[in-house]
Amino acid sequence: MNQYFATTARGLETVAAEELKTLGAADIRPDFTGVYFSGDKALMYRVNLWARTIFRVLLPIAEFRCWDRKMLFREVERIAWEDYLKPNNTLAVKCTGSNAKLNHTHFTALQVKDAIANRQKKKFGYRSSVDTNDPDLLVNVHIKDDRCIVSLDSSANSLHRRGYRLAVGSAPLKETLAAALLEMAEYSPDLPFLDPLCGSGTLPIEAALKALNIAPGLLREKFGFTTWQDFDESLWNELLEEAKNSQLNQLKAPIYGSDRNFNVLDQAISNAQLCGVGDKIKFAQTALSELEAPAEKGILMCNPPYGERLGEVEELGEFYKLLGDTFKQRFKGWTAYILTGNRQLMKKVGLRTSRRLHVYNGSIECTLLKYELY
């Protein structure tokens, strides 16, 4: 059993912990922007393949006291890097966090790289080359106060990059956040789902992937662990085959996405086709003022502009009022959710919330507003 650390967006630690539990993780302990958990190699592969709300899965290999460059270099050089990396393998180092004397992440990463190279040259006479784009081994270093944690990044690229979204709108949700919002809304594949402001389609696509039990990792080209020295190819192929065989062919309830902008709607259609759900989601070019409920009940969710990036608050006030009016008049029997990062605009909706859930969209503090429409 190994201990791992799954990184996630701020505010989604509890959601990620619940997801890890369903995937079979043990010793689950949420922390700031991440969750510690334990499991074997198969679990680590499975989390990378199936997790919808997690960015990366890190395998800590060393933790030590460290308050300056010399201590960092000495302790990193002591790690048995030959167990993880051969000199003919490529390497990259990423650093997060800081303290008083290690306050520049790029400088810290260079010190770690030099310490690894120094150990390799002493043992083998030559060292690994650096490949920041596609390394054989990605090392993650986190500095906090006088502690340093050195980990191997099993995911390589962030898991929010599913591999299907080649086209994006002006202010797209990360796929991990979209998946987390669906969990927070207790979305069930038995209910119709509609995003009336779908943009490039992230929410309806993530709903379709969940409803059809499609592992999001199936769409990715590579994971970091596939180039590790202890990579078990037969185990990985077994998990891939299991995931492919568990997919469903049909939705239990329809999923809809609409937007008034034809260009971004075309992006949504392209993205849905790329991940194999293009024929499952019903996209339509529809202005909010013309929107009608496609069923007697369901879940309605949208991420309207907040004012910071896509328009001024004054201009958006009427739009938020139209959202509330449309939901109230045409979606009786539905449950609606609005994600917004603007408290002033929240009031313009004009509906009473039944629940408010706090979450971050990138660096923006947001609220997921729930409305029961009767």
| Sign of the four-CA dihedral 155, 160, 164, 168 | negative
pLDDT lower than 50: segments of the chain: none
| Structure-block tokens of residue 9 | 């967006």
Give the distance from CA 139 to its chain's centroid: 20
Q: What is the pLDDT of residue 314?
A: 75
State the helix-helix crossing angle for 41-50 and 233-245, rounded to 10 degrees. 40
Please say whether the beta carbons of 200 and 269 come within 8 A: no
Query: Tokens 């680590």, residue?
Result: 44
Q: What is the pLDDT of residue 320?
A: 95
Q: What is the pLDDT of residue 170?
A: 60
What pairs with residue 36 in β-bridges?
A: 5, 29
Please say whether the beta carbons of 141 and 95 come within 8 A: yes
Tell me how far apart the terminal alpha carbons of the chain are, to the nearest angstrom. Answer: 50
Q: What is the pLDDT of residue 163?
A: 85
Q: What is the pLDDT of residue 283?
A: 98
Q: How large is the greatest C-alpha to C-alpha distance in the chain, in angstroms? A: 74
| Structure-block tokens of residue 353 | 């919330």
Q: What is the pLDDT of residue 307?
A: 77
Please say whether the beta carbons of 44 and 225 come within 8 A: yes
| Length of the chain (residues) | 374
For residue 105, with 0-12 CB atoms within 10 Å meaning exposed, 13-18 middle and 19 or more buried, which class applies? middle
pLDDT 10s digits, 74-105: 999 999 999 999 999 999 999 999 999 999 99
Q: Which phi and psi angles does 7 have, rounded to 5°?
A: -85, 145
pLDDT 10s digits, 312-362: 777 899 999 999 999 999 999 999 999 999 988 999 999 999 999 999 999
Please say whether the beta carbons of 301 and 334 come within 8 A: no
Alpha-carbon separation of residue 138 from 14, 107, 185, 210, 277 (angstroms): 27, 17, 35, 29, 32
For residue 85, with 0-12 CB atoms within 10 Å meaning exposed, 13-18 middle and 19 or more buried, which class applies? buried
What pairs with residue 338 in β-bridges?
A: 302, 369
- Those residues whose C-beta lies under 8 Å from the C-beta of residue 352, and which sit 6 or more positions away, are 371
Query: Tokens 């700031």, residue?
Result: 32
pTM: 0.94
Q: Minimal CA–CA distance to 327: which of 359, 302, 357, 309?
A: 302
For every residue of 161-184, DSSP letters joined together read: --S------SSPPPHHHHHHHHHH
> Hey, how many other C-beta atoms are within 10 angstroms of the C-beta on 23?
16
- Those residues whose C-beta lies under 8 Å from the C-beta of residue 134, and which sit 6 or more positions away, are 90, 156, 222
